[in-house]
Structure 1
Amino acid sequence: MGSQGLGQRFWAVAGAVSIRVKITGIVVGVILTLGVAMGVLVYRGFTESLERELEERGTAIAVNLASRSQDLVLTDRLFALYTLARETARDNKDLLYAYITDRSGAVLVHTFKGGMPAGLLGLPPLAPGEATRVRLLRTETGMIRHIAVPVLGGRAGTVHVGMSEDKIRATIAGYIRRIVLITSLVLVGGGLLGFGVATILGRPLTQLASAAEAVGRGDFTWRPPRWAHDEIGRLGASFAVMAERLGRMQAELRRRGEVRTRLLDQVITAQEEERRRIARELHDETGQALTSLTLGLAQIREARDLDEARARAGELRGLAGRTLEEVHNLSRGLRPSVLDDLGLLPALDLLLKEHAASRGIAVDLHATGLDGQRLSGPVEVAVYRIVQEALTNSARHADARTVSVLLERRDNALHLIVEDDGRGFDAEKTLSDGDVERRLGLLGMRERAELLGGNLTIESAPGRGTSVFVQIPLGHGAEA
């Protein structure tokens, strides 16, 4: 009875007002509902998107700073480390501060002008194996996203950066103001339109009431004027056009947001990949060659006669030629065109053939489950670079006679195995060794796999060869 009484009172109030008020109220209510719903959706969507972009940008900045500060921390070059931190803060407007601590938590350098805030010193350190930690800090100036990234897995220290959310809040506030303005304008126009529609519909409705009374009297010959039906039809068409325009506007906003997000991700990814790739490929080539040339020149200077000096100069000339060829090959290997043009398998086949020809060893490549399909660009580049680094390590350190590469797509993942019959090494000891230069290539391969959500395992022992196992998940969009 309670619900029935409430319904009766509602219809009593609704029935007491004119049709103009009813239609106008319905139109205003619909517009307000749509405006509020759109405001909530836009606020949540843009907040999540912009916060995610800010966090990703801050993480990229911290990872880049950690990568560039490794040698400076290990060699205790604090002034150069401070300069690097200041330049990073200067080049990134959203970056409020940056500071670097050693593995015991002591602050090495910071960018605060008035001294290191005591509140930041009380933050708990990263747990062993923790790649990144993001904290939301409430300060007097607003919310700050504090991002911590370990340097060399935390063994050399930690990089801390603070990203300001002021720009995010200002951007969201601007969109909300626009939505409120648009909703208000649509609300005023809709109210006037509803009132006009109610006025126009009054005439055909009166005629329809007269027709209903005539039918009640048994008069089936009376028909309402056709123009009444035409007005209602035009009203329906007007609403259809308005809905279509609103749909196009919403789709365009969504498309622009997606394009902006993709462009930002591509820029950050391209920058970081370029820096990592150059660091991994050049970490020992040029240095070793220049060291050999320096020692050779010293020997020439100390030669006892001209024949000995000429002989040594001939050797150095050969070394310089080989170094030049290696630099040429390295520049070509930074971005092989066959990888972009033909795909992963042809690029790997060419890489293995060139390696076999230059090293005089036997190589073989087996691929299953790909069926001629192209993988996404990041996956193909990562797999190619991992195989390239594995072949380089095998040639330099393993003295292998045979190298095998197995590539298989299975269980929505890409599995890679690179095996050689070389002298092998203590994998666990090498990966945990404090010699950064010795581990850079292996850590680079593992980093490439982990950046795509995969993993890399190395199995090796002295005298038993080396096997590299890689697994990279392939979600939706794995094919190019």
Structure 2
Amino acid sequence: MSQTETHEIRIKRLFRKTRFGIFVLFGAIVFATSTLSIRTVSSQLEEEYESNSANIAKNIADSSVDILLNRNLATLQSLIDQFVEIQSIRYIYITSDTGEILTHTFVPGVPEVIRESDPHATEPVERSLPGMGDFVEIGSPILAGQAGTVHVGMDLDLVRLKIQRATGQQIALICIILIVGVLGSIWFVRLAVTPLEELLSYVVGLARRDADDLNDAKVLTRDDEIGEMARLMLHAVRGEAPGAASNPGSGTD
């Protein structure tokens, strides 16, 4: 291996920490951005679906007042069956003021978890129903709870799937930016390494050969700091040559 190749390797090692630092920096940015994106999208989608479920429960509660007063359970069943067709809504059931389940959309029957729950609860609560999945249940009182309560179950699995799709697209975009950024930074580092390699090669030439042989070196034509350093070194070598020639040996008086 020549001395020039050895010096090139040393320069590459010099910028190894810089490249590693750039990669770590971009990685930290991607991790932080992805984490924030996942939390934001997850929170917004969950709030949106919970709000929609609450609105549906309220609409059913408002629409079922007359039906309940007339005890027309068939019409009430038809009403909640229509709302179950809405995406993300998996089940609906209505309880009376005494806690009795008047109508529901469960097939073949009401799960035991539902029967054991508070029939008058209106706050969002997470439920795991065997054979069905995970849900968030939201209730809405009918006539302030005097006529019963409407309960709407939102499918958490579907919400999570949409969250994964939304965040997956954002993470993919961020990863592309990471790759482009790292490759671009490596290219910019290479732009800085190349003139340094030229300068180091020139300095090696000054040390090994007569300075007059390197008067036309390409590095001397640069108009940046590298060119200035090369010209300064050439002038320094020229200034030392006459003295060295007149006093070749160190000698003593």
Determine which structure has greater relative contact order: mean sequence separation of CA pairs < 8 Å that are 6+ residues apart, divided by chain length: 2
> What is the match of residue 97 of structure 1?
91
1:226 aligned counterpart, secondary structure:
coil
Whole-angstrom CA distance in 2 between matches of 1:101 and 1:135: 16
- Structure 1 residue 172 corresponds to structure 2 residue 166: no
Give the deviation of 1:97 after TM superposition: 0.8
Give the deviation of 1:126 after TM superposition: 2.9
Whole-angstrom CA distance in 2 between matches of 1:39 and 1:224: 47
> What is the match of residue 136 of structure 1?
126
Whole-angstrom CA distance in 2 between matches of 1:224 and 1:65: 83
- Structure 1 residue 185 corresponds to structure 2 residue 180: no
2:95–2:119 Cα contact (<8 Å) kept: no
Letter paired with 2:161: A
Letter paired with 1:172: I
Q: Which runs of 5+ in 1 are unaligned?
A: 1-14, 212-222, 230-480
Which entry has the higher C-alpha Rg, 1 or 2? 2
Q: Which runs of 5+ in 2 are unaligned?
A: 1-9, 204-219, 227-253
Give the deviation of 1:187 after TM superposition: 3.4
Which structure 2 residues correspond to residues 28-177 of structure 1 after superposition, within 5 A?
A: 28-90=23-85, 92-126=86-120, 132-140=122-130, 141-177=132-168
Give the deviation of 1:93 after TM superposition: 1.7
Whole-angstrom CA distance in 1 between matches of 2:144 and 2:183: 65
> What is the match of residue 223 of structure 2?
226
TM-score, normalising length from structure 1?
Answer: 0.38
2:113–2:129 Cα contact (<8 Å) kept: no
TM-score, normalising length from structure 2?
Answer: 0.69
Give the deviation of 1:201 after TM superposition: 0.7
> What is the match of residue 340 of structure 1?
none
- Structure 1 residue 202 corresponds to structure 2 residue 193: yes
Change (3 A) 1:164 1:196: same
2:61–2:150 Cα contact (<8 Å) kept: yes
Give the deviation of 1:80 after TM superposition: 1.0
Give the deviation of 1:95 after TM superposition: 0.9
Deviations 1:256-287 (A, max 9, x none): xxxxxxxxxxxxxxxxxxxxxxxxxxxxxxxx
Identity %: 27
Whole-angstrom CA distance in 2 between matches of 1:113 and 1:23: 63
Give the deviation of 1:197 after TM superposition: 2.1
Change (3 A) 1:228 1:169: farther
Deviations 1:300-320 (A, max 9, x none): xxxxxxxxxxxxxxxxxxxxx
Deviations 1:359-406 (A, max 9, x none): xxxxxxxxxxxxxxxxxxxxxxxxxxxxxxxxxxxxxxxxxxxxxxxx
Flag as ranges the 4+ runs of structure 1 deviating above 6 A: none
Deviations 1:231-271 (A, max 9, x none): xxxxxxxxxxxxxxxxxxxxxxxxxxxxxxxxxxxxxxxxx
Give the deviation of 1:30 after TM superposition: 1.7
